[in-house]
Amino acid sequence: MSERATGPGSVLEQLFGRPRPVIAMMHLPPLPGRPLYDSRAGMAAIVDALRRDLEVLQEGGVDGLLFCNEGDRPYALKIDRAQVAAMAAAIGELRPYLSLPYGVDLLWDPLAALAVAQAVRASFVREVFTGVYDSDMGLWQPDAAAALDYRRQIGAEHIKLFFNIEPEFARPLSQRPIGALARSVVVSSLADAILISGPMAGAEADLSHIREAKAAVPSTPVLANTGVRIETVRATLAVADGVIVGTGLKRDGYTWNPVDPERVRRFMDEVRAAREEA
């Protein structure tokens, strides 16, 4: 059996027009039906917050965006209709202003993420598709076959799948080395890209795990999924095929704050230096 991708940068260059992309998080505030939702401010406040972050990120020169219901704590393994509808509506309002490729992530429901991605014409989804975990959400057992079947059923085969194989807020029950896991996931579950995370949002991914995964699947992109900061992005891009960044671009480096234009500028300065070095 052979790996699915055709080159280390092929999927990323197809999506973002360049190798080593920076994919910036578009964190949604809490959505209707979740404990922290602000019912007085309503959906208008959610869209306004996203629009502010969008303007800063696009002007700051990032390569792609990833919409995620980060505010919907405590996180769930199955997403209700209200959050699916709200997320699709919010992204839909922003579509006329989007000039970058974008993806969708609904924590932690791959089918819901695919449904929204198809509705809003996104290019990729980020999810945990494989494995069994002891997690903050309970026993976590995603079903990759069901997700890929559903992608086909809704006519969304063009949507690329970014597999988070070392997810936040969880510990795998399997003790397989990360390299063996990465290769197994690419071969058996048709991952388009592999993501390596830290133990929670904003926590650094282990660079040795990225190296190990890349050695195991040299034809599949491997990205750092969490914890990339201004001070570490050069070192990270020396190893990873790209980065997904959220907390590191927020005011005061705090996940729930708005995006900080100065942090974006400094971060992208470091990225450009890293690309020149490469």
pTM of structure: 0.96
Residue 245 has pLDDT above 50, yes or no: yes
Q: Residue 10: its pLDDT value, please?
A: 85
For residue 3, name the pLDDT band (cuts at 50, 70, 90): very low
Partners of 172 in the beta sheet? 133
Residue 5 has pLDDT above 50, yes or no: no
- Three-state DSSP at 168 gives coil
Partners of 66 in the beta sheet? 25, 103
Q: Residue 6: its pLDDT value, please?
A: 40
The conformation of residue 30, written as its DSSP 8-state character, comes to P
Alpha carbon 195 to its chain centroid, in Å, reads 8
The chain-wide mean pLDDT, for the chain, equals 95
> How far from each other are the two terminal CA atoms of the chain, in whole angstroms?
32
Partners of 222 in the beta sheet? 194
User: Going along 173-220, which residue ranges are E strands?
Assistant: 193-196
Residues 53-70 have a mean pLDDT of 98
Residues 199-216 have a mean pLDDT of 95
CA distance 173 to 95: 40
Residue 2 has pLDDT above 50, yes or no: no
Q: How many CB atoms lie within 10 A of CB 13?
A: 15
Residue 9 has pLDDT above 70, yes or no: no
Q: Which amino acid is at 128?
A: V
- Structure confidence by residue, pLDDT tens digits, 81-116: 999 999 999 999 999 999 999 999 999 999 999 999
Token pair of 58 as six digits: 């696009």
The conformation of residue 250, written as its DSSP 8-state character, comes to B
For residue 202, name the pLDDT band (cuts at 50, 70, 90): confident
Token pair of 86 as six digits: 């709200």
Tell which wins on pLDDT, 174 or 25. Answer: 25
- Structure confidence by residue, pLDDT tens digits, 117-157: 999 999 999 999 999 999 999 999 999 999 999 999 999 99
Residue 260 has pLDDT above 90, yes or no: yes
Q: Residue 128: its pLDDT value, please?
A: 98
Residues 6+ apart with CB under 8 A from 175: none
CA distance 97 to 180: 41
